[in-house]
Amino acid sequence: MHEVSKWRCLTAAALALLLNMGSANAKPAGGNELRLATTTSTEASGLLGVLLPRFERDSGIKVRVVSVGTGQALKLGERGDVDIVLVHSRSDEDRFMAQGFGSLRRDVMYNDFIIVGPKDDPAGIRGQQNAASALKMIADKQKKFVSRGDDSGTHKKELALWRDVGMTPKGGWYIEAGQGMGEVLTMAGNLRAYTLSDRGTFLAYRGRVGLDVVVSEVPGLFNPYGIMPVNPARHPHVKHALAMKLADWIVSPAGQEAIRSHKVDRQSLFIPGAPPK
């Protein structure tokens, strides 16, 4: 009898493991654990390392983080593999909400995208007032540009900018890396190429990659982050109450102050609240 239940237990465990394969987060969360899917930028910039310990201390909730591209983070939310998502791709977030996958969306913070490139700026785009036309100049002069190519929020932003100038980038100068922001910055540094980055990750990597900001703070480059608890009407098993605590905390004065306090080289990486219109 004892043997039987042991085997049953093992089989159940093996099945659970199998069923969870393919989703990035294989561990089922325990009672007071929350599963958060977020983008590589929040993790790589060190923000989560500041934010989550404070939230965990304030709330007693343990947060398990899956950090992937915005595309996959949203898919994890759609499938109910996580309880809450923190991402940055406004149009995809609106679609996520419209399809009923999220229970609500809150503006958490924003930073801006920047175009970075070699210090000598071979395409001569420094100080351009329009991000898309700066990219077009890179393309026209066939200077190297590294694209994330990984369906991330940053990649989507880049593709939207190319669409703005009616271009489909192609050719030896256009390098589709298919990797995270940190890897792409490192690659652009090594190849003396341009790339589009979020400011947070770039500030964290600036000292190492030998690239300069060439275009920034122009329209079209703001990068808002939204947090969305997964809708319990869609996925009854999600921990909506815990997810709401995080969504509430992150926009509370304590959460917003934590975001503001995260600095690299005395510069805030993210600005709390919604971006300027």
Partner 1 sequence: MELSAAIAEAFRLLFSFDAGLWNIIGVSMKVSLTALLIATPPAVALGFFLATVPFRGRRLCVIVLQSFLSFPTVVVGLVLYVLLARSGPLGELGLLYTPEAMIAGQALIAFPVLAAFTLAAVQGVDRIVRETALSLGASRWRASLTTLFEVRFAVMAGVFNGFGRVISEVGCAMMVGGNIAGLTRSIPTAISLETAKGEFAQGIALGFVLIVLALGINALLNYFQGEGGMK
| Interface with partner 1 (CB under 8 A) | 22, 68-69, 71-72, 75-76, 149-151, 175-179, 183, 187, 189-192
By C-beta, is 8 or 208 nearer to partner 1? 208
Min dist. Cβ of residue 244 to partner 1 (A): 25
Min dist. Cβ of residue 108 to partner 1 (A): 22
By C-beta, is 171 or 236 nearer to partner 1? 171
DSSP alpha helices (H): ranges in the chain?
2-20, 40-44, 47-59, 70-78, 90-98, 131-140, 153-164, 181-191, 199-209, 240-251, 253-261
By C-beta, is 97 or 191 nearer to partner 1? 191
Min dist. Cβ of residue 157 to partner 1 (A): 16
By C-beta, is 63 or 175 nearer to partner 1? 175
What is the C-alpha separation between 76 and 174, in angstroms, rounded? 30
Min dist. Cβ of residue 142 to partner 1 (A): 16
Min dist. Cβ of residue 151 to partner 1 (A): 4
DSSP label of 276: P
Token couple for 187: 């690659």
Please state, in angstroms and as integers, the Cα–Cα distance from residue 197 to each residue in 17, 44, 76, 104, 203, following that order. Answer: 36, 12, 24, 28, 10
Please state, in angstroms and as integers, the Cα–Cα distance from residue 221 to each residue in 123, 130, 194, 211, following that order. Answer: 19, 9, 16, 18
By C-beta, is 106 or 234 nearer to partner 1? 234
Does residue 74 contact residue 92 with C-beta atoms inside 8 Å? yes
